[in-house]
Amino acid sequence: MYSKQLNKVEIIAEIGVNHNGKLSHAKKLILKAKKVGADYVKFQYFKAENIVSDYCVAASYQKKNTDKNIKQFDLLKKLELSKKQLIYLKKFSKKNKIKFMCSVFYEDDIGFVSSISDKYIKIPSGELTNIFLLRKLKNIKKTIILSTGASKISEIIKIIKFLKKKMNKNKKNLILMHCVTSYPVHIQNLNLNIIKKLKKITNLNVGFSDHSNSTISGAISYLLGARIIEKHLTLDNHDIGPDHKSSLNPDNFKKFVGAIRDAEKMIGKNFKTMTRDELSNKKLVRKYIVAKKKIKINEKFSFSNLKSMRTGKGNGVLNIFKIINKKSKKNYNKNEIVL
């Protein structure tokens, strides 16, 4: 459709709101993301008054990890980062050689988010059906990452068709992200097989936005076709805030990245090859044809007087049918290699 196949996995450390509204925390998280091997850090830009009404209650996971009586507006207001702060964090990321991207929630913020994002801008799952936002993506030159949590396949297809009409398919890329909108999501609900189905029915690159506490989920999603993988990063899982419990601390995030990189190495190619070690070991573990007992000259070779043994050299057992019923040209002792 729009996108060429991605190869190497790009790993996004989702900082989200785990900075707790503090610039110092955000900087520490960027440094940790770089240290543990992430390719990108991702932040969110929003103004609470633009995205949530004053009377909207907080989600259950938000209440559980913060103040049980807090409203969404009050929660999000405390977690805002200003444009000035995000521009600073973009420069800080560049200085520390890690790529930067941002999520957008409100149509008037698309231009700003695009200007500070290196390659991708993220449309979160909650905005999947936000036509007010999506219709403004027409002139954006960045690749759009569209998260699909809490959605039906019919909704995803409808939105892709809408975006195809709005976006110049020769210039734009669109990447879907499989996601389960639960914080944290239990591993039995990850449903990673849907990655393959989404790739097949949409002909798009499909990534994985992971809200589980697993350190191997990313590697498994890679084996199922994900080439962009996102995971929340926190300095401390016990911090007060909506996403800390569904994030990985730096030690576990490093394991998460390591598992993905190991999977990349393990997957190999779609043709059979022998490694240098295999070629060296092949002669030592393969069987060769030897005399089962003494064989006299002119005696016919048969399965009765031949057998296979490890000898490190000689006539491979696959050649047995070229030898059977032929006369021996010499005398052989027991276990002697038959050429």
- pLDDT for the residue 55: 81
- pLDDT for the residue 168: 60
58 and 70 Cβ atoms separated by less than 8 Å: yes
Q: Is the pLDDT of residue 113 over 80?
A: yes
Residue 336, CB-side half-sphere exposure with 13 Å CA sphere: 12
- pLDDT for the residue 70: 81
CA dihedral 210, 214, 219, 223 (to 10 degrees): -70
Q: Is the pLDDT of residue 305 over 50?
A: yes
Report the largest interatomic distance among the alpha carbons of the chain, rounded to a whole angstrom.
101
- pLDDT for the residue 232: 98
What are the pLDDT digits (tens) for 32-89? 999 999 999 999 999 999 999 988 888 777 766 676 678 899 999 999 999 999 999 9
- pLDDT for the residue 170: 41
Cβ-proximal residues to 73 (8 Å cutoff; 6+ apart), any chain: 48, 49, 52, 53, 54, 56
Please report which confidence band the pLDDT of residue 141 belongs to, taking 50, 70 and 90 as the band edges: confident
Q: Is the pLDDT of residue 335 over 80?
A: yes
Tokens of 209: 């936005």
For the chain, what are the domain ranges? 10-267, 276-323
What are the pLDDT digits (tens) for 158-214? 999 999 887 764 445 899 999 999 999 999 999 999 999 999 999 999 999 999 999
The Cα–Cα gap between 85 and 93 comes to 12
- pLDDT for the residue 173: 86
| pTM as predicted | 0.90
Q: What percent of the chain has a predicted confidence (pLDDT) above 70?
A: 94
213: nearest Cα among 237, 238, 178, 248: 248
Residue 327, CB-side half-sphere exposure with 13 Å CA sphere: 4
Q: Which CATH class is domain 10-267?
A: alpha beta
Q: What is the mean pLDDT of the chain?
A: 93
- pLDDT for the residue 139: 81
- pLDDT for the residue 145: 97
Q: Is the pLDDT of residue 2 over 70?
A: no
Q: Is the pLDDT of residue 261 over 70?
A: yes
Q: Mean pLDDT across the stretch 137-150?
A: 93
100: nearest Cα among 171, 40, 145, 169: 40
Tokens of 106: 């409100």
Q: Mean pLDDT across the stretch 244-255?
A: 97
- pLDDT for the residue 166: 73
